[in-house]
């Protein structure tokens, strides 16, 4: 990796942590999944996945190392990897991207409850059912974010990459 790639990855990870912190206090609204979708489809696979890994490590500094914060290290790099593998499909079937974004936003809330398995299966099921409404709303909002914001932001990111390559 060269200096330009490392700088880009650091900037992406910083943006992820800023988006995460900005939306942390807004009930039902999370922008991290949409940002990971944007990065997973607009940047190289290695860059998107590494940015998500660095985001998760930076997040440890903010919220500590817990089973729940470790889930970020599994979830978001996994999303970035899957999306970067599937990005050509989204060119052929554009509606799939917002559906995937909404599904991942929904799934994030559900997967973040998995560490409750350390306590008991019943507690985990209780949290899954209690969090279902929140996850459904997050999924719908993730879908809408992607529908409304993906195209303009992706165009700007591609334009920035093109101008960076010209330098």
For the residues of 59-104, what is the DSSP string, one character each?
A: HHHHH-S-HHHHHHHHHHHHHHHHHHHHHHHHHH-TTHHHHHHHHH
In percent, the amount of the chain with pLDDT more than 70 equals 98
CA 110 to chain centre: 14
Residue 1 has pLDDT above 90, yes or no: no
State the pTM of this model: 0.90
Residue 91 has pLDDT above 90, yes or no: no
Average the pLDDT over 89-101 and give the result: 92
Q: What is the DSSP string of 16-30?
A: HHHHHHHHTTSTT--
Residue 93 has pLDDT above 80, yes or no: yes
Average the pLDDT over 6-21 and give the result: 95
Please, are residues 86 and 43 in contact by the beta-carbon 8 Å criterion?
A: no
């Amino acid at each position: 990796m060269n200096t330009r790639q490392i700088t880009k990855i650091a900037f992406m990870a910083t943006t992820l942590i800023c988006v995460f912190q900005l939306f942390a206090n807004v009930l039902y609204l999370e922008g991290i999944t949409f940002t990971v979708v944007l990065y997973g489809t607009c940047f190289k696979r290695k860059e998107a996945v590494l940015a998500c890994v660095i985001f998760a490590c930076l997040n440890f500094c903010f919220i500590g190392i817990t089973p729940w914060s470790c889930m970020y290290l599994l979830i978001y790099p996994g999303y970035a990897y899957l999306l970067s593998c599937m990005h050509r499909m989204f060119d052929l079937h554009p509606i799939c991207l917002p559906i995937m974004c909404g599904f991942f936003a929904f799934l994030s809330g559900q997967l973040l409850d998995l560490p409750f398995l350390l306590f008991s299966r019943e507690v985990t099921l209780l949290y899954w059912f209690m969090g279902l409404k929140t996850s459904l709303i997050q999924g719908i909002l993730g879908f809408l974010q992607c529908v409304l914001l993906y195209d303009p932001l992706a165009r700007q990111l591609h334009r920035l990459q093109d101008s960076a390559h010209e330098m």
